[in-house]
Amino acid sequence: MDLMKKKWHRYHYKNLTYLFISIVIAILLLQNQSFRDVLVHLGNYGYVGAFIGGILFVSTFTVSIGTVLLIILTSTLHPIEIGIIAGLGAVLGDLTIFQFIRGKGLMEEIKHFFHYFGGERISHLIHTKYFSWTLPVIGALIIASPLPDELGVSLMGISKLKTYQFIILSFVLNSLGIFFIITASSFLK
């Protein structure tokens, strides 16, 4: 056992391994019908359900459940209320991803892959004056869209965006995106 601890301590990709394991667990949980029923039942809890729906709305693996939960809430809450409350939940989800990307552990692990795939040329391209401003813009467009936010948050996380700026952008973009999706779903009913 002591040998395993030493190997794990020297292992360079701990955070990526944890990320992979959490994705596998999320996929397995979403295969369980009772777990999905519990999430859909959260729609009966009004603002709390909207907040949780917002948190679920930002992840690749839970975006469909979050969207269904938010659409269920349209029968009891106004779309603007859902947009604001779910936007706050989405900020919490995005901020968790943002801090994970910014954390030294994950960035160090990604650097190994970055250098393996020609990091010098990519780094030079990213730091040019024409390209450096596009990372937050592309990230913002992804966050505002119905697409899951991980890629957009990652692009904003590797840029020099301050945390308070990210929180404001995330809230505005997610609230608008959720509001438009909720409004569009009410027209389709």
Write down the domain spans for the chain: 2-188
**Residues 24-83 pLDDT 10s:** 776 777 688 887 777 667 767 889 989 998 998 887 767 777 887 888 888 888 999 999
Taking CA atoms, 134 is separated from 1, 128, 137, 143, 152, in Å, by 48, 10, 5, 14, 11
Which of 40, 34, 37, 60 is closest to 52 using CA atoms?
40
Q: Which residues of 59-78 are buried (b: 16+ CB within 10 A; e: fewer)?
A: bebbbebbbbbbbbbbeebe
Please give the pLDDT value at position 16: 67
Output 11 or 108, whichever has higher pLDDT: 11
What's the whole-number mean pLDDT along residues 1-26? 69
- pTM, rounded to two decimals: 0.71
Spatial CB neighbours of 67, under 8 Å, sequence gap ≥ 6: 53, 57, 146, 181
